[in-house]
């Protein structure tokens, strides 16, 4: 729980943590007309911080009293078990293979009340087929029924079809960008790719944006 990437836990009064809380609030209010309780977090390309963003968003949802699970659906390069210091012998793939796991998901508790983690579990040879399967629909439905929010950490949009397939089964996709890293052409290609298959794009999150110096005194008070 002390990973510096989890800014919402390590420095909850920081501007970055406050920005995640603002994101949480925006998502909650945007769901008045359209339910947003199962969300996919992805990026255009690798290295843009989508796993960190997904984890911090999940923390803020749990801090508001919402029963939240963070699901590592990156079945190619999972990272949530490392980020949280958890074992990964069981996880999402366990639910996909074991029918009894639908009623008893192998969720792992965190020190934060209301937040649990579903790690990836053993990696399958064909991630896209697994995510696109009817069994995945059942897993999503089971998690929805037991929790208030389900946050999926998915592979980058341009790296695999997994994120698009998953987003079509959920309430939408949140695209993560990183200032100074994300490329305009890749972001445009990712957006076009999502729109081509009618993925509901909820919005975008910009990480490492330059701080407004006028707000520095307020946050340090």
Per-residue pLDDT at 219 exceeds 50: no
Is position 124 within any domain? yes
Q: What is the mean pLDDT of the chain?
A: 91
Report the pLDDT value the prediction gives residue 2, as an integer from 0 to 100.
47
Kindly give, in sequence order, each residue whose CB lies less than 8 Å from that of residue 68, ignoring residues fewer than 6 positions away.
Answer: 58, 61, 62, 114, 115, 116, 147, 148, 149, 150, 151
Per-residue pLDDT at 196 exceeds 60: yes
Give the confidence band of 202 by pLDDT, cuts at 50, 70, 90: very high
Is position 2 within any domain? no
Per-residue pLDDT at 209 exceeds 70: yes
According to DSSP H, which parts of the chain are helical?
7-10, 15-30, 50-63, 80-84, 92-97, 127-131, 134-146, 162-167, 184-196, 216-220
Are 168 and 197 spatial neighbours (Cβ–Cβ below 8 Å)? yes
Report the pLDDT value the prediction gives residue 218, as an integer from 0 to 100.
39
| 216 vs 198, residue with greater confidence | 198
pTM of the predicted structure, to 2 decimals: 0.92
CATH number of the domain residue 115 falls in: 3.40.50.300
Report the pLDDT value the prediction gives residue 31, as an integer from 0 to 100.
60
Is position 79 within any domain? yes
CA dihedral 116, 117, 121, 123 (to 10 degrees): 150
| Range of the structural domain that residue 160 is part of | 7-220
Give the confidence band of 180 by pLDDT, cuts at 50, 70, 90: very high
| 10 vs 4, residue with greater confidence | 10
Is position 213 within any domain? yes
Is position 138 within any domain? yes
Is position 1 within any domain? no
Report the pLDDT value the prediction gives residue 213, as an integer from 0 to 100.
52
Per-residue pLDDT at 188 exceeds 50: yes
Is position 144 within any domain? yes
Q: How many folded domains does the chain comprise?
A: 1
Is position 181 within any domain? yes
């Amino acid at each position: 729980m002390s990973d510096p990437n989890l800014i919402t836990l390590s420095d909850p009064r920081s501007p970055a943590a406050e920005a995640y809380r603002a994101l949480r609030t925006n998502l909650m209010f945007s769901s008045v007309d359209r339910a947003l309780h199962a969300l996919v977090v992805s990026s255009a390309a690798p290295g843009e911080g989508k796993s960190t963003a997904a984890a911090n968003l999940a923390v803020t949802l749990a801090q508001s009293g919402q029963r939240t699970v963070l699901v590592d659906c990156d079945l190619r390069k999972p990272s949530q078990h490392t980020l949280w210091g958890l074992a990964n012998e069981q996880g999402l793939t366990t639910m996909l293979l074991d029918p009894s796991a639908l009623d008893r998901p192998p969720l792992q508790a965190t020190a934060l009340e209301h937040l649990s983690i579903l790690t990836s579990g053993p990696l399958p040879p064909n991630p896209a087929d697994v995510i696109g399967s009817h069994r995945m629909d059942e897993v999503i439905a089971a998690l929805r029924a037991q929790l208030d929010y389900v946050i999926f950490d998915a592979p980058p949009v341009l790296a695999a079809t997994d994120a698009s397939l998953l987003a079509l089964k959920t309430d939408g996709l949140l695209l993560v960008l990183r200032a100074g890293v994300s490329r305009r052409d890749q972001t445009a290609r990712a957006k076009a790719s999502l729109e081509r298959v009618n993925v509901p794009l909820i919005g975008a999150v910009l990480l490492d944006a330059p701080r407004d110096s006028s707000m520095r005194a307020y946050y340090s008070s």
